[in-house]
Amino acid sequence: MRYLTCLVFFCAVAQSQSNLLGQFDLTEMVTGKPGRLIYHSKPVPPDLVNPWPQQLENDFQRRAESVILKQRNETKAGVNTYFENEKRSYGYLMAHALGGNAEVALKYLQATDHQHDEWHRETSGIDYFACFTLKHQMRKYFYFGDLLAPDYRKKMFDGAKRWTQKDPMRRPHYAHQPGKQGWGPDAKNSWVDVRSTENLWLMRTTSVYLMAEETGNEATRKLYGRHLLDYARTLYRIGIGEWDSENYHGHSIIPLLNLYDFAKDTEVKAAAKACLDFYAISGAIKYWRGGFNGPTKRDYNHAQPFGGSAANSLWMWFGGHPTGKVAHWESDEVHQVTSAYRPPLAAVNLANKKFKKPVEIFAAKPAYDATTSFRLDSKPEYLETQYIAHTYQMGSLTCGTSVDGGDVNGFKMLVFDQDNGAVTLQATPGANPAYPGSPMYKTGIVSAENRVAQQENIAIWLVKDGKSPWLWVVPEQLEISEKRGVTFIKCDRTWVAIRPLATSIVKHDRELTSQLLATKNNRFVEHKVLASTGNGKNYCGLAIEVGEQQSHGTFDRFVKSVLAAEVDVSELNLGVVRYKAADGKYLGIHWNDNPLDLGVWRNGERRDLANAKLFDSPLVQAEWGTGILEVHTDGAEFRHEEK
């Protein structure tokens, strides 16, 4: 098996890497010399390749080299094979193999699984159960297979053949113990992980397909091939169910890369490319300079930049961060390094904001399980507004942030930072600073139902609790000031004004800041907390206005403009607020318990929420349910029609 350079890549002279890569012959995977290494993929048909210019590819290869060498140097070469613990170690070990530590890495990649007899007796001791392990097993077998010991590779093949002889999902398992609790086969009575969050569904479905195809189990291959084709068809009609998750977006990309790189069937391979194009475009809207904006489903309260798998995986493709110093590795990066896939140029331009700004993007998001259950008749469940200016992005949902144990972040800002790339300003109607995004399935974090109306750089955010606490978690270095009851945040190139609506003035809270910094596994090092408390009757809230040099000239002019705004809170107890900015922009919110029918009044006209589109802007366009997606950026366009 040869790992050839396909059209995505560019010529590199193969050299002996014995001094760099150890005793194993990896010259078909890696060529060049230190500082100019090129990582090669398996070949892909030219018509399934998004062509890139030389410079983009060179930049990608430099990021790839930095990741591989850093993971080799900064992660320990070892493995814990209990249940799904390989989800990190296998990825790091593959990076070690490419980075010059192949002998040790391959030993651990072929280590006997901890539960080889307890759970995996029928699959030759190979773990084909846990989804997070499966995604790595596929690249280990299909990409690194020639470096594996022949008897181990045969074990993987023989185990996969028995695994896919029948549909492994819910196939009765010998280890099952009725009444057992947990996620293993002993509890779930299945030959494969039954968890079906979208990222795990993709890991399972693509892996079963690839191994059924590899071992000739045609009935299983056809069944899972239909699932994958149906998924691609649904994706372009209603979008990602686990949409734009800062924690899981990257984890969904990786199994699709496996399918794209290793599937033999051309229709399935093309479907994998289509899905990757969609994920790249959807992620590129909110990615910028190593950061990832909201709103997001399954938000896990990460600080930016490089918070969660979305920012990490998208940086691999798009770059843009001033230093590329990543504090946290997902261990998925090696998949992108060794994949033939590159996003469309229009997605690259989206991510690097190469288009006329400012621009507003409306989007609709589906129910969580709609895409993986192929519900083409699904209706929108969330309505988003995303405003992209020159130095910031502001995004919101009409439903606001989840309450009662949900997982949706309903408001977020991503702002330019010279040294750090892009940093976030996060806020919530709640009192726990460890959860400025979503409540992560916990009750009592968000005080009550809340709603957001947004018009470009202005937002009105109300909560149905007149005494609700509010807090913001922002980078420590940002300057905070207050004038006539309005709080101003001065970022590197962006200015934010927060006006109380029946709340106290938003101020730096040292006690909450200390509480945040003392939190176990604190994600918000070098951040501070701003807080206020509601003093209203039925509702309270905040009005947010954002400016920059391109819109206001100077910070002082921005302050004067904000203070000149007209705010009508005479009907606040009914959930009605009106905000007229100094530039004449007029935004109103009329509370509705149904967030899909929130009264959002923009310049005197009510926004039509009943006929929401998948994407609606001059930049990205897709009617709900049609399967057609178009992107228009400076110098590059994209169009896909799912039939």
Using one digit for the tens of pLDDT, what is the confidence trace for 108-161? 999 999 999 999 999 999 999 999 999 999 999 999 999 999 999 999 999 999
Query: What's the burial of 443, exposed, middle or buried (CB within 10 Å: 0-12/13-18/19+)?
Result: exposed
Q: Tell me the pLDDT tens digit for each residue of 146-186.
A: 999 999 999 999 999 999 999 999 999 999 999 999 999 99
Residue linked to tokens 């170690």: 89
DSSP E strand stretches across 381-457: 382-388, 392-397, 408-409, 411-417, 421-428, 450-455
Query: What's the burial of 574, exposed, middle or buried (CB within 10 Å: 0-12/13-18/19+)?
Result: exposed
> Shortest CA distance to 358 belongs to which of 623, 583, 563?
583
Mean pLDDT confidence for 352-378: 98
Q: How many CB atoms lie within 10 A of CB 390?
A: 14
The sign of the dihedral angle between the CA atoms of 229, 231, 233, 236 is negative
This model's pTM is above 0.85 = yes
What's residue 521's pLDDT? 81
What's residue 23's pLDDT? 58
The C-alpha atoms of residue 342 and residue 122 are separated, in whole angstroms, by 38
Q: Dump the DSSP string for 26-93.
A: -TTTEES-TTS-EE------GGG-----HHHHHHHHHHHHHHHHHHHHHS-S----STTTHHHHHHHH
Angle in degrees, 0-180, between the axes of helices 198-215 and 150-163, rounded to the nearest 10: 110
The C-alpha atoms of residue 338 and residue 3 are separated, in whole angstroms, by 10
What Rg value do the Cα atoms of the chain yield, rounded? Answer: 25
Q: Is the pLDDT reported for residue 78 higher than 90? A: yes
What's residue 411's pLDDT? 98
> Shortest CA distance to 381 belongs to which of 200, 198, 238?
238
Q: Tell me the pLDDT tens digit for each residue of 275-322.
A: 999 999 999 999 999 999 999 999 999 999 999 999 999 999 999 999
Domain locations in the chain as residue ranges:
18-349, 383-575
CB 198 within 8 A of CB 372: yes
What's residue 602's pLDDT? 98
What's residue 11's pLDDT? 28
Mean pLDDT confidence for 367-374: 98
Q: Whole-number mean pLDDT of the chain?
A: 95
Instruction: Name the percent of the chain lying above pLDDT 90.
Output: 93
Q: How many CB atoms lie within 10 A of CB 554?
A: 11
* Structure tokens that stand for 424 in this block: 């976030």
Mean pLDDT confidence for 243-259: 98
Half-sphere exposure (Cβ direction) of 325: Cα atoms closer than 13 Å: 5
Q: Dump the DSSP string for 269-308.
A: HHHHHHHHHHHHHHHHHHEETTEE-S-EES-----SSS-H
Q: How many CB atoms lie within 10 A of CB 359?
A: 16
